[in-house]
Structure 1
């Protein structure tokens, strides 16, 4: 009986290894399209600027350039419950309102230094819900940036199948 179980698990493992490349190659931009956006157009613009403020472009692309805001929206839509989705939407609205009260313009229209100052104010707030949504956005921004294709390939040197086999290599004595 143990031999049958071992053979069965080996066959399943082999089948999984054969199917894995086809499964991974199926990922593309259309596979992560947001069906019903949780955030409005204005909230999406604020989110894009928050992401850009948290990880701005330098000699490497910033989070906004790598479309991390799309990753965050997809994560919020698929992985979080309705109450968290509402908190994020309300948090982005309150950030936009805070920008209008402080600087007289929308958050997206603020200068980078003004946006950074507003985010520091949100971080220093006593309101637990405001801090929770901001910490969630920070966490998802970092996760989205560090797992983006650009960072994985150019900085982590990630390869789909490491350990390439080089046959016919001359051997020196």
Structure 2
């Protein structure tokens, strides 16, 4: 009888030890499933702020509204090698303890390539800017509301002036 109780208590303790790391983790995980990189919720929030500085909200939706930071993370996870991912997270580390105004100032300084910006920040910023812009240009909003598509070869215009060579 005592043996069953001891085994039951050991199994309960082992189950608690398995669940303990998930309870102690203070930061949440990313809101999308990523297979090769590990991103916390605070890093995702910082990326959203940086993307919003790159494409701010005006009369059209901004980067936060279109979730372009998630597009950047998915592209980084799927399309880039480990060393490029490491450079990205080194650059992201510069934004860790900054508030929204300081993030904006650092992004503007990196965009204008000032001398006081650390060199480790440029690979991060270039990738972030390129992927944010490509995500915006390929977003559902832009493709359905801003770009007017015609099927190839287009409509026939019999009165189009032809220039001779």
Please state which band the TM-score falls in when normalised by the shorter chain.
0.5 to 0.7
The Cα of 1:73 is off from its aligned counterpart by 0.5
TM-score of the superposed pair, with normalisation by structure 2: 0.63
Structure 2 counterpart of 1:119, from 94, 107, 112: 107
2:34 pairs with 1:35: yes
Larger helix fraction of residues: 1
Secondary structure of 2:103's aligned partner: helix
Alignment match, 1:130: 121
CA distance in 2, matches of 1:44, 1:158: 34
Instruction: Please identify the structure whose Cα radius of gyration is greater.
Output: 2
TM-score of the aligned structures, taking structure 1 as reference length = 0.60
1:157 partner SS:
coil
1:90 aligns with 2:82: no
User: Contact 1:34/1:73 (CA < 8 Å) preserved in 2?
Assistant: no
Consecutive unaligned residues of structure 1, counting only runs of 5 or more, are 1-32, 100-106, 164-173
Pairwise CA RMSD of aligned residues?
2.0
Question: CA separation of 1:62/1:126 partners in 2, compared to 1, >3 Å: closer, same or farther?
Answer: closer
Q: Is the Cα–Cα contact under 8 Å of residues 52 and 63 in structure 1 kept in the other structure?
A: yes
Alignment of 1:143 onto 2:146: no
Q: Deviations over 1:112-155 (max 9, x none)?
A: xx432121234424643311111111111100011101001100
Alignment length (residue pairs): 117
Judging changes above 3 Å, is the alpha-carbon distance between structure 1 residues 93 and 127 closer, same or farther for their aligned structure 2 residues?
closer
> Cα deviation per residue 1:15-59 (whole Å; 9 max; x = unaligned)?
xxxxxxxxxxxxxxxxxx533353222211110110011101110
